[in-house]
Amino acid sequence: MIPRSPRMASLKTSPASILAKQARALRATGRDIILLSSGEIEFPTPPHVIEAGLRAAKAVPVGYTNVDGSVELKEAVRGKFARENNLCVGLEELIVCNGSKQVMFNALTATVSPGDEVIVPAPYWASYLDLATITGAVPVVVDTSAASGWKLTPHDLDRAITQRTRWVIINNPVNPTGGVYSAAELRALAAVLQHHPDILVMSDDLYEHIIFDETEFATMASAAPQMRERTLTINGVSKAYAMMGWRIGYGAGPASLIADMVKVQSQSTSNASTVSQAAAEAALNGPQDEIARRQTLLATARAHVVDAVAKIPGLSMRSPAGTFYAYISCEQLLQSSAALGRGWRTDADLARFVLDEAGVVVLPGDDCGLSPFFRINFGCSSSLLDQALDRIARAVEVASADGLDDSRLETT
Ligand SMILES: Cc1ncc(COP(=O)(O)O)c(C=O)c1O
């Protein structure tokens, strides 16, 4: 028998990746499936970035870079932090990884002992829990409330801290709700952490550039400079430049932490792809106007989703201030006689129905720690989004018409 680490018992595969795989399998059987559960944004990689990648791919040999990233890319990252975040960082305070997920993995591996706690505000990006688990820590989920816009408050944070707390994860803008923490809100959280000098902050800023209505982006290390010495600021090119598959993320933090993270990476994956690093360097150093143009396109898509959802009985949502996700409440729908008639209890039941009936894959809120909701991605083409929203509306209509059948109600 193949032995199994005890850690595997609580480790889950990323829900979004499972759904994406299922969608591909269904497509292979000829079904017309629209995948709205993924974290991918449907824009092309900018041409000058592709060119830089191609040039790097033609080098002989395509060699390794330093484990922590090429000096050129680290200089570009340093420039980005100075230009956009008012953060002045040295090269020894930077690491480049295979996506921001690996930045988190390295950081947790380098710092946690078994049983150490990692505070994760809910709703969350599901991987935070598993990243904590796989590295031997215990994820401590802290529920947030609608009143705070589903954001962590100083009160929530204070109550969640124990002797074992090692990290607090702050994702801004928040996947899945699209909430955005202001500088003042971050400073209020920092004020709580002032009393706990051993707690580190992981600031996941991956959606920094997917932000609307001129909302100001803030990050902990610059909003509360006294936190800099214990904050790991994480970002990457996946969302800002639609470069998910290139797998480049980076982190800025205290030099001693970064040195340990580099050690972890040196014995796992070594450097991130040399070709992708050259492309990421071009993305960070090149023209940035495409970011604003894409923000405008995404803001239009967001308005469209908000309008469409408002017309679907039983569904409701808040307009997200950032990200390309709509986090849609299905509470009313699940309480309707239609839902009762169908025996639906959870957002996962609804998600299954939407897939079967409409061929649209959505991410159940259960996977994000707040139910009953589901998340859809509006970072896709407007025609696909239109089609998906139409199909969801029709599926809900079918459910409502069928569910009102009294005989069904009696049998459940
Ligand atoms: C909040 C958040 N952080 C991090 C990541 C990981 O991104 P990557 O590893 O591509 O940089 C994702 C991906 O969807 C995300 O949603």
Amino acid at 382: S
Encode 203-239: b = buried (16+ Cβ within 10 Å), e = exposed: bbbbbbbbbbeeeebbbbbbbbeebbebbbbbbbbbb
Tell me what pLDDT residue 404 has. 45
CA gap 252, 93 in Å, rounded? 5
Residue ranges and CATH numbers for the domains of the chain are 7-36+289-403 (3.90.1150.10), 47-285 (3.40.640.10)
Atom of ligand 1 nearest to the CA of 98: 9
The CA 243 to ligand 1 mean position distance, Å, reads 11
State the amino acid at position 253 in one-letter form. G
39 lines ligand 1 (CB under 6 A): yes
Mutate-to-test residue for ligand 1 from 206, 277, 325, highest number of ligand atoms within 8 A of CB: 206
Tokens in use for 405? 């059948």
- Pocket of ligand 1 contains residue 99 by CB under 6 Å: yes
Profile the chain (412 residues) by mean pLDDT over runs of 10 residues.
86 81 90 93 94 97 97 98 98 98 98 97 96 95 96 98 98 98 98 98 98 96 98 98 97 98 98 98 97 96 97 96 98 88 89 92 95 96 96 91 47 34
What integer pLDDT is reported at residue 333 of this predicted model? 93
Give the per-residue pLDDT at 337.
80
- Which of the listed residues 125, 323, 325 should we mutate to test ligand 1's pocket, taking the one with most ligand atoms within 8 A of CB? 125
CB of 204 within 6 A of ligand 1: the answer is yes
pLDDT tens digits along 376-403: 999 999 999 999 999 999 999 988 876 5
> Ligand 1: does its nearest atom lie under 6 Å from the Cβ of 177?
no
175, 248, 273, 377: which to mutate for ligand 1, most atoms within 8 A of CB?
Answer: 175
Q: For residue 236, how far is its CA from the centre of ligand 1 (angstroms)? A: 8
Q: Is 238 a pocket residue for ligand 1 (Cβ < 6 Å)?
A: yes
CA of 145 to the centre of ligand 1 (A): 23
The per-residue pLDDT for 405 is 44
What is the pLDDT at residue 412? Answer: 33
What is the predicted pLDDT for the residue at 411?
34
Best residue among 100, 177, 243, 273 to mutate for probing ligand 1, ranked by most atoms within 8 Å of CB = 100
Which helix (H) or strand (E) element contains residue 306?
Answer: helix 289-310
Ordered alpha helix ranges (H), 125-169: 127-134, 154-160
**Which run of H or of E encompasses 171?**
strand 165-171
CA distances from residue 213 to 210, 237, 362 in whole angstroms, order as listed: 11, 22, 26
The pLDDT assigned to 179 comes to 97
Give the chain's mean pLDDT: 94
CA distance 114 to 134: 10
Indicate the angle between helix axes 255-266 and 100-111, nearest 10 degrees: 100
Closest ligand 1 atom to residue 125 Cα is 1
